[in-house]
Structure 1
Amino acid sequence: MLISRCASWVWLGILLAAAPAAAQEEEGSLARPQLALESRLRVVFQYPAPGARVSASRGCGTFVAGRAKVHQFDIVLVLDTSGSTDRPSGGDIDGDGEVGRASLDAAGLQRTSDRGDSVLAAEISAARQLLAELDAASTRVGVVAFAGSEPGALDWLLPRTPSARTLQTLTTQHEAVDGALDALLAEDPSGGTDMAGAIDRALAVFSAAADTAATPGDVHRMVLFFTDGYPTLPFGHGEEARNVSAVFAAAERAREAGVELHTFAIGKEAVAWPLALLEAAERTGGVFTPVRHPADLIDMIAHAGVGGLEGVRLYNATTGQVAMPFRVAPDGAFHGFVELVPGLNRIAALARTTLGVEARQERVLQLEADAPSAQVPYELLRRQTALLEDCLLLAKRRRSAAEAARAEELRRQLVVEIERARELARQRAREQRKRLQLELQAPR
């Protein structure tokens, strides 16, 4: 799907209010003084430089990058590595031209014929895309993997699968995060699903890094939690109510620590039993997103409501043409290709939060046929490369107003689909809660 790559507006949808932070880049801001927590949103351009002379590009346009920011971010990616994540995702995740099929191993367990197309591979691919779009200058990322073993009398004899482990502590060195994801993809998924242990492990990652934050009081902390199941641990199968209650308790600890849990239920099983994930997100101010088809996770994450902004738009104010392709990351980092006309061009970026706070910034660029080629900063090269891949896909299609309108309509349909799926999940969660006879304390 090209929805996330073509849409000029990327809707995210999480409330984000924060104290102002100093910015060294050129910036524009707009504040609403009536808010209880003074909320300031700033738009900054990172590339090109103000007044830069740029030469005509070949097809894609001029690369523009910046950030709509309120906070610095600490993000922990929590990935499910239980045995079921070795099943096929239903898509060609690794792009080798073949889609992994379901097969049985020697133990009679369902696996995928192509490990690069497994549910775990889809989780890791989504994490990689997200990582490529984050601003390493102000966003630290960590990685936690979780599974777990059934408690039993043979614990002394059989090696236990750890409930959760830290693969990467919080760091702005996103290459290290990539390395952790590489190592995880090479592992064999196994074990059960200890969601409570995973949440607690993520909280430990935040706690260990709290004293190293550049501005500890202005860091927005969130967990992106991927799983294809429901909690089977820490108490084991047949103890569903206790396992779910353990997730609620862990979510309360996250809420008390000021950590948002954004949960993704991947596949039919997770969508059919959503209570733990839905409640964990709602208790912490996060967003729950059902993803019925695991292969769709990469596209769904862009429209899930993760990150704090309602929308960001990048366009050429001189011509009115929007950037295409264009991406926005959960931390507000944005980048796109903008078509310029000869002479002066006013490039504008407009951002808005769900509170209605808006900020707009312009940067003037000069398009000249003989202008020297500008060097893209190293920290932006990954984002430019990912966007060039999108541009190549778009180049195979007609770049017309009708095509752009179709992409926008597809985006809107996807947002509606997500909301319908969330409502269905809420209904199922109510039924599951009633069946388990769990009395839940309302989120505070």
Structure 2
Amino acid sequence: MSFPWANHYQPTNPFMRWMDEKLPLPRFVYNAIGAGYPVPRNLNYWWNFGVLAGFCLMIQIVTGIILAMHYAPNALVAFDSTEHIMRDVNWGWMLRYAHANGASAFFVVVYTHIFRGFLFSSYKAPREMIWLLGVVIFLLMMATAFMGYVLPWGQMSFWGAKVITGLFGAIPLVGEPLQIWLLGGFAPDNAALNRFFSLHFLLPFVILGVVILHIWALHIPGSSNPTGVEVKQESDTVPFHPYYTAKDGFGLAAFLVIYTAFVFFMPNALGHPDNYIPANPLSTPAHIVPEWYFWPFYAILRAFTFDFFFVPAKLLGVLAMFAAILVWFFLPWLDTSPVRSARYRPMLRKFIWFGFVPCMAALFYLGGAPAEEPYVMFSQLAAAYYFAHFLIILPIVSMIEKTKPLPNSITEAVLAKNGAAAAE
């Protein structure tokens, strides 16, 4: 995003001038996150979660590299090497808890970031590429997290790997060969553990590369904002630094308070106790569940309990589970309303807060519940509403709803809000 009123990098120090000529890295940083990057002046705390997601990714990469130095991807010793990290490596317990809870924190932040996109229609033109790259990042996160969950080689790790890779067996013709290829055999063992460890180590760097593209795509049209109105004048913006670096710093401090509380005081609250039992192929856990951040899609998978003509229920569940994320790719074209922000779309706002949010809350709960009635029936209802929201409700609402009048500019909206607050 380039504006005529943006500050331009002008180094005064001789060394910095030389650096700017040979390797303009300071200029890049200045224009990306410094005073040379104008940002809408009305961004609220919903916009903090992008920075928090980047911070979580850095936590995962740094702690993951150190943990990999002590981990042994061998089915005979993987569980013991995890315990060795916890008991014998200096600060190993903290690194592992920081990594495990960092994964949960990463998903909390990213789910919130995605919800902000739904609420303020951040997927609309001219920011479609930002949204599409964001969905790619989420898919890579899901794959990375699944493979990481297998590495401790506890009971839930082993059986989670067996169940999830078994889903590929539902694909006609190529399913079983694909499952064997993924595992390197007929069941999770050394080959699978080595493959998952290699990919789990590699994929965070792939995510980092896509995040860089995501940020690059963001800087072309500039940040969206709560009104959905594009920047029109200098008074609509403020420099990213110091205004939003300070705001993001406050958000980061609040995040760290909660994150460190989990790491130091309740590090196992989000994990499963069965994963502290060594993997045993001969002992199936009573209730196999993935990590909590997979639960909505796991609930959709289990919602299909009957065949449809010649399509088996298992295949329908697998297709629905992947479609639940892939449908996000089409949001820029499913939502045809010329208005972005739900602030000015009262009908959409009601459907999001009183329909979609309860639906997602139900899916989160049902994904961790036993696969029995009445949970299966509720999963079917919630899954039906989930797809109806994106494929039926959103397109119809975008065509028929009567939107509120938009402000003429971001500045007008800010001044009107501050004036109303002052009048009160």
Which structure shows the bigger proportion of residues in helix conformation? 2
Please tell me the TM-score bracket, short chain as reference: under 0.3
Which structure shows the bigger proportion of residues in strand conformation? 1
TM-score, normalization by structure 1: 0.24
TM-score, normalization by structure 2: 0.25
